[in-house]
């Protein structure tokens, strides 16, 4: 049988322990809240940036860019016939990594499934507005080389009758400006397959510099193996380049 003294002793002991226990519980419960409060502003700002960025990319669907000689606009169904005219040529798709188009219907399907992607532009001459080539900005996971959402890969081609007039470097220069100034991307990447010196020249002219080579890699779209050279243009290098060109003018 317990004596009153024993009972009072135990109550005091418990009362003495309670505040420590309570503080311990509170501390362990508060720790995650402190961490959450500390990282919340950064997380919210990152989310806001990504949402804004994605919206800009989607808006790029109806973006129209212009240069001295070109209009870069979204591909339309009515471009199918001209697209087939240029893309049935063996000298275009295979060196760029995709099969030749087999019919106007096939070209129409490609417009709807591939070329309608945000950031893909039909390259048109200002003088008649007809599509003669394509430039694509493939952001983040849309790219072929596994990039984060703040970086993109650029791909391009132009119909054989228009080769050698500097039209693609002119169009790519404007897409680069769009990518850095309007989309606020950090780095741009470009690749060309071994032996495609024409494409290598375009990249050099646009300020890209060689980074690395993927040797004998599987290329699923053509069911073959290829060696691809990858080059890069950083926002800083581009800004310096633009400033130098402006200073020279």
Ligand X SMILES: CC(C)(COP(=O)(O)OP(=O)(O)OC[C@H]1O[C@@H](n2cnc3c(N)ncnc32)[C@H](O)[C@@H]1OP(=O)(O)O)[C@@H](O)C(=O)NCCC(=O)NCCS
* Interacting residues with ligand X (CB under 6 A): 92, 95-96, 156-158, 163-169, 192, 196, 198-199, 201-202, 205
CB 115 to ligand X: min, Å: 14
The residue nearest ligand X at its CB is: 164
CB 49 to ligand X: min, Å: 30
CB 219 to ligand X: min, Å: 12
Of the candidates 246, 81, 65, which has an alpha carbon nearest to the alpha carbon of residue 170?
65
CB 165 to ligand X: min, Å: 5
CB 50 to ligand X: min, Å: 29
Nearer residue to ligand X within complex by CB, 151 or 153: 153
Nearer residue to ligand X within complex by CB, 56 or 95: 95
d(CA 153, CA 122): 17
d(CA 138, CA 134): 13
Residue 243's contacts (CB-CB under 8 Å, 6 or more residues apart) are: none
Nearer residue to ligand X within complex by CB, 54 or 67: 67
Decide: helix, strand or coil at residue 208.
Answer: coil
Angle at 75 (CA atoms; ends 69, 76), nearest 5 degrees: 120
Of the candidates 112, 115, 108, which has an alpha carbon nearest to the alpha carbon of residue 82?
108
Kindly calculate the radius of gyration of the chain based on its CA atoms and give it in whole angstroms. Answer: 29
Nearer residue to ligand X within complex by CB, 157 or 208: 157
Nearer residue to ligand X within complex by CB, 156 or 208: 156
């Amino acid at each position: 049988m317990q004596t009153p003294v024993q009972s009072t002793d135990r109550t005091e002991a418990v009362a003495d322990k309670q505040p420590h226990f309570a503080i311990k519980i509170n501390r362990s419960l508060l720790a995650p809240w402190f961490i959450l409060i500390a990282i919340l502003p950064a997380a919210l700002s990152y989310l806001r940036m990504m949402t804004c960025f994605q919206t800009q990319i989607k808006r790029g669907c109806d973006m129209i860019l212009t240069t001295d000689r070109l209009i870069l606009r979204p591909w339309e169904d009515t471009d199918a016939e001209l697209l087939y005219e240029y893309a049935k040529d063996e000298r275009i798709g295979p060196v760029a990594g995709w099969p030749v188009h087999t019919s106007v219907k096939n070209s129409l399907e490609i417009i709807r499934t591939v070329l309608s992607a945000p950031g893909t532009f039909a390259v048109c001459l200002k003088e008649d507005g007809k599509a003669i080539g394509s430039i694509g900005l493939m952001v983040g996971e849309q790219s072929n080389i596994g990039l984060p959402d703040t970086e993109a890969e650029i791909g391009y081609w132009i119909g054989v009758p228009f080769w050698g007039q500097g039209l693609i470097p002119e169009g790519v220069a404007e897409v680069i400006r769009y990518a850095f100034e309007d989309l606020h991307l950090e780095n741009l990447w470009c690749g060309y397959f071994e032996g495609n010196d024409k494409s290598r020249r375009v990249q050099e002219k646009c300020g890209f510099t060689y980074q690395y080579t993927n040797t004998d890699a599987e290329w699923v779209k053509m069911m073959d193996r290829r060696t691809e050279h990858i080059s890069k243009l950083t926002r800083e290098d581009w800004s310096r380049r633009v400033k130098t060109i402006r200073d020279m003018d």
